[in-house]
Amino acid sequence: MTTMKMAAALGTVAVLGLAACSNGGTPHEAATEFAPDTEAEITFTWWGNDERAGWFEEALDLFNEEYPNVEVVRNFNPWDDYWTARNTEAAGQALPDVLMMDAGFLGEYADKGLFLDLGAYQGGLLDTGGYADTLLESGTVNDQLVGVPMGYNAWSMMYNKDLLDELGVPYPTDDMTLDDLEAYVLQVNQAGAAHDPKIYGASDYTGGFPGFIYSRMQEGEPVFTEDGAPAFDEGDVVDYLDSVADLRDNGDFYPVERTVALDPLGGFLGGEAALWFNFSTTVAQAMSDIGTENIGMVQAPTENGRHVLADHPSMLLSVAANSDEPDASAVLVDFLANSPEVKAIFGASLGAPPTDEGRAAVEQSTSDSVDFAYLDAIESEITESYPLLPSGYGSIEAKWGELHEQLLYGDIDTEQLAEELFSEMDMLLG
Amino acid sequence: MSLATATPQTERRQQSARLRRRARTARGGRSILFHLFALAVLVVILYPAVWMFMSSFKPSNDIIGSVSLVPTDGGFQNYAKALEGIGGVSFWTFVVNSLILAVGSVVGILLSCSFAAYAFARVKFRGRSVFFVCMIATMLLPFHVVIIPQYIVFNNLGMINTYWPLLLGKFLATESFFVFLMIQFIRGLPRELDEAAVIDGAGHPRIFFSIILPLMKPALVTSAIFAFIWSWNDFFGPLLYLKEPSMYTMPLALRLYVDQTSTSDYGAQMAMAILALLPVLLFFFAFQRQLVGGVATQGLKG
């Protein structure tokens, strides 16, 4: 694992170094028409599990019904390995023609000129008419459309109804303040103390960077500046972490030792904690890992109980700048992004379909309906684009998680955490 | 008188028998203690392996977070799932791919490294020591340093998504560990044998094939075993160079069951891990005697 991380890091470094030297190249004239019998071979790569691979097979079969002579060579890896392999390919200017991207890595790759500007195809081979502007904005870097969101989701708080019913604790509501949340966690702890295993309210919910972004958004504060520097200081991080200092110091959070023992599941997915903070799409993962369909979802609590939310692209499709078949690649992106049949295959597993037409085509599973109902309920509160994340964001998010674990073990305090986070950001963000 | 002398003798004999007995009991006690301790250590060491084996019979939800060995709802469903394959690719495709690479590596390494080793050990040529140092230096070079340049080279050669990047080096004696191992072995063989052959009119090819190669058998066997196991277990090389699930090897396929961002099938992964272990285990048991023998010979002569 260490070897792989190191390799991934090295890959990233090489991306920075090598890709920077080879930004040139003749700009491609974007075609506006693509005859269905055109012959082409393109490569397409995504991350995910066996199930997703099966769905992509189906979707690509549909694509081949429409474009029988475009051969799509497909590949997939699990999340960690995906980035190791892509980083190496990026260094060799050999990315697959079409690849799945994550919002956390989009900026980093786009800054190095690794992606084609799909803006040239908009209105032609690529139809983005049904997309909300806030969502398209999140696939745009330096005024170039480099990623088309396959789906979107929003930050949420999920709760395990089975556990809460068993303990006789009422479900959390959509207008809770941070104080309410603290009281709620204690209430669950108290009710779950006699349970075997002991049930907790939640793991420490300051443990991830997205939670911090959510908290900044509520205050109307930016997270990163336009040139990719942090728009917050160490004090902000310390304040955020110290907002739950009481709970943390009194051992009221799900114990870190147990989280580590259950890795990669953790308290909520292991069925031993009632609340979970994550993007709404992950409800499908929660239902499958916990083995229940009784998961509820509300807005994550804020200081005053009112919310500012953003649509977060859950997965984007990008076309590599080194592609020999940019037109065919754009056609594939358009097909996967817009075809209602494709949306019907994937449901909400790639995020809620961004277009109304796509959403209507989905035969909703239980997790899809929880996700869609939540997204509908918060529609009026989605007023922001998800902040554009700078190059190196992925590593910063990972660092936050790592440092937070040390904090929970008591190896460092919140000020040291902030200090180390900033020295890491200095290095990564330049 | 005779009685008087006999008594102390008998007594002494009895005494020493008693002492011996006591010593034996004490030894026996110590030995039981030692064995108990050794067994306890064995349990600790073997526990993860046994856990993995037993988990392969459990449903996925029971695996993570459970330290228990006994499956409550056991069965072979995970094996059925693993044998079904993944991503539309059959399990046997992964086995065949892994075997192609492993056998290819063994052949490549035995052929090329033995030639190279013979040259370094027995042929005098200009710059031999410089080349030798260069070869040793590649052993010191961490793999991570060469990943990217190597990838770019193979990419420019159009060899990505073929087995060439994973095999070519093996046929060109770039595995300096094996070259070095064989050099040391050849250096331990008496030169008189070569000289006798030279007097009989043998050239280098004849000496190599008729004298050195047959005598090198222990070194060849050791290299073959290591080459097989390393290639079979290699994850990183195939991850970088193979771009289609139908080309994937066992270690890559193994990882496809677990994805942090979607649902994971830990049961199938455990079953697959056991299945992936089997060939290496069999290989090891079949060649265990030669392996130990080979390593021991290296130790003595190297």
Query: Closest-CA residue in chain B for A292?
Result: B61
Q: Is the distance from CB of A336 to CB of A150 less than 8 angstroms? A: yes
Query: Closest-CA residue in chain B for A82?
Result: B239
How far away is chain A from the Cα of B164, in angstroms, using its nearest Cα?
Answer: 17
φ/ψ (deg, to 5) at A34: -140, 105
Higher pLDDT, A42 or A379: A42
Do B30 and B160 lie in one domain? The reply is: no
Tokens of B21: 């007995």
φ/ψ (deg, to 5) at A203: -75, 165
Q: Is the pLDDT of residue A1 over 50?
A: no
- Across the interface, whether the CB atoms of A285 and B262 are under 8 A apart is answered yes
Residues of A within 8 A of B265 (CB-CB) are 49-50
- Across the interface, whether the CB atoms of B259 and A11 are under 8 A apart is answered no
**A300 DSSP 8-state letter:** P
How far away is chain A from the Cα of B269, in angstroms, using its nearest Cα?
Answer: 12
How far away is chain A from the Cα of B133, in angstroms, using its nearest Cα?
Answer: 27
**Residue count (chain B):** 302
In a domain, B74, yes or no: no
Number of domains in chain B: 2
Residue B129 pLDDT = 93
When scoring A75, A254, A259 by the number of chain B Cβ atoms within 10 A, the one with the most, hence best to mutate, is A75
Residue B260 pLDDT = 65
- Across the interface, whether the CB atoms of B263 and A78 are under 8 A apart is answered no
A14 falls in which pLDDT band (50, 70, 90)? very low
Do B50 and B95 lie in one domain? The reply is: no
Do B128 and B266 lie in one domain? The reply is: yes
Q: What average pLDDT does the segment A188-192 reach?
A: 94
Do B31 and B127 lie in one domain? The reply is: no
Assess B260–A contact: CB distance below 8 Å, yes or no: yes
Q: Is the distance from CB of A221 to CB of A230 less than 8 angstroms? A: no
Residue B88: give its domain's CATH number.
1.10.3720.10
How far away is chain A from the Cα of B246, in angstroms, using its nearest Cα?
Answer: 9
Q: What average pLDDT does the segment A4-20 reach?
A: 46
In a domain, B239, yes or no: yes
**Gyration radius of chain B over CA positions:** 28
Residue B18 pLDDT = 85
Q: What average pLDDT does the segment A255-275 reach?
A: 89
Q: Does ipTM come in above 0.90?
A: no
Residue B301 pLDDT = 45
Q: Is the distance from CB of A161 to CB of A178 less than 8 angstroms? A: no
Q: Is the pLDDT of residue A122 over 80?
A: yes
**Gyration radius of chain A over CA positions:** 22
Residue A430 pLDDT = 63
Assess B236–A contact: CB distance below 8 Å, yes or no: yes
When scoring A88, A293, A316 by the number of chain B Cβ atoms within 10 A, the one with the most, hence best to mutate, is A88
Query: Closest-CA residue in chain A for B154?
Result: A92
**B131 DSSP 8-state letter:** H
**A352 DSSP 8-state letter:** B
A29 falls in which pLDDT band (50, 70, 90)? confident
Q: What average pLDDT does the segment A379-404 reach?
A: 87
Do B119 and B35 lie in one domain? The reply is: no
Do B25 and B87 lie in one domain? The reply is: no
Query: Closest-CA residue in chain B for A48?
Result: B259
- In sequence order, which residues have a C-beta less than 8 Å from that of residue A76 and are 6 or more positions away? A45, A46, A47, A48, A52, A53, A56, A82, B87, B245, B256
Beta-strand pair A140-141/A144-145: antiparallel
Residues of B within 8 A of A10 (CB-CB) are 144, 147-148
Q: What average pLDDT does the segment A329-351 reach?
A: 91
Do B225 and B145 lie in one domain? The reply is: yes
Strands (E), chain B: none
Q: Domain coordinates of chain A in residue numbers? A: 37-151+312-377, 155-310+390-429
- Report the range of poorest mean pLDDT among A16-25, A139-148, A392-401, B24-33: A16-25
Identity of the residue in A43, A51, A285 whose CB atom sits nearest the CB atom of B243: A43
Q: What average pLDDT does the segment A128-136 reach?
A: 88
> Which residues make beta-bridge pairs with A73?
A43
Residue A86 pLDDT = 93
CA distance A283 to A280: 6
Residue B298 pLDDT = 55
- Report the range of poorest mean pLDDT among A198-212, A384-398, B210-224: A384-398
Identity of the residue in A3, A78, A285 whose CB atom sits nearest the CB atom of B258: A78
CB atoms within 10 A of CB B170: 23
In a domain, B45, yes or no: yes
Higher pLDDT, A183 or A364: A183
Residue B61 pLDDT = 73
Q: Is the distance from CB of B222 to CB of B284 less than 8 angstroms? A: no
Q: Is the distance from CB of A338 to CB of A358 less than 8 angstroms? A: yes
| DSSP helix/strand/coil, A375 | helix
How far away is chain A from the Cα of B144, in angstroms, using its nearest Cα?
Answer: 6
Do B113 and B16 lie in one domain? The reply is: no
Query: Closest-CA residue in chain B for A290?
Result: B61
Residues of B within 8 A of A11 (CB-CB) are 147-148
Do B30 and B105 lie in one domain? The reply is: no
When scoring B62, B63, B64 by the number of chain A Cβ atoms within 10 A, the one with the most, hence best to mutate, is B64
- Nearest 10 degrees: Cα torsion B96, B100, B101, B105: 150
Assess B172–A contact: CB distance below 8 Å, yes or no: no
Write out pLDDT tens, residues A48-74: 888 888 899 999 999 999 999 999 999
CA distance B189 to B206: 16
Q: What average pLDDT does the segment A159-168 reach?
A: 95
Q: What is the residue-level pLDDT of chain B in tens, covering all 302 positions?
A: 445 555 677 888 888 888 888 888 777 788 899 999 999 999 999 998 888 888 888 887 777 767 777 777 778 888 888 888 887 788 999 999 999 999 999 999 999 999 999 999 999 999 999 999 999 998 888 888 888 899 999 999 999 999 999 999 999 999 999 999 999 999 999 999 999 999 999 999 999 999 999 999 888 988 998 899 899 999 999 999 999 889 999 999 888 887 766 667 888 888 888 998 888 888 888 887 777 766 665 544 43
Do B208 and B122 lie in one domain? The reply is: yes
- Across the interface, whether the CB atoms of A289 and B61 are under 8 A apart is answered yes
Q: Which helix (H) or strand (E) holds A315?
A: strand A309-319
CA distance A286 to B243: 30
Residue B24 pLDDT = 80
- Across the interface, whether the CB atoms of A94 and B65 are under 8 A apart is answered no
In a domain, B267, yes or no: yes
Assess B258–A contact: CB distance below 8 Å, yes or no: yes
Domain residue limits at B245: 81-301
The per-residue pLDDT of chain A, averaged, comes to: 88
Indicate the CATH number for domain A37-151+312-377: 3.40.190.10
Query: Closest-CA residue in chain B for A12?
Result: B148
Residue A3 pLDDT = 47
Sign of CA dihedral A375, A376, A377, A383: positive
Share of chain A above pLDDT 90, in %: 59
Identity of the residue in A10, A261, A264 whose CB atom sits nearest the CB atom of B260: A264
- Across the interface, whether the CB atoms of B87 and A53 are under 8 A apart is answered yes
Residue B261 pLDDT = 65
Do B104 and B20 lie in one domain? The reply is: no
How far away is chain A from the Cα of B108, in angstroms, using its nearest Cα?
Answer: 26
CATH superfamily of A155-310+390-429: Periplasmic binding protein-like II (3.40.190.10)
Do B174 and B40 lie in one domain? The reply is: no
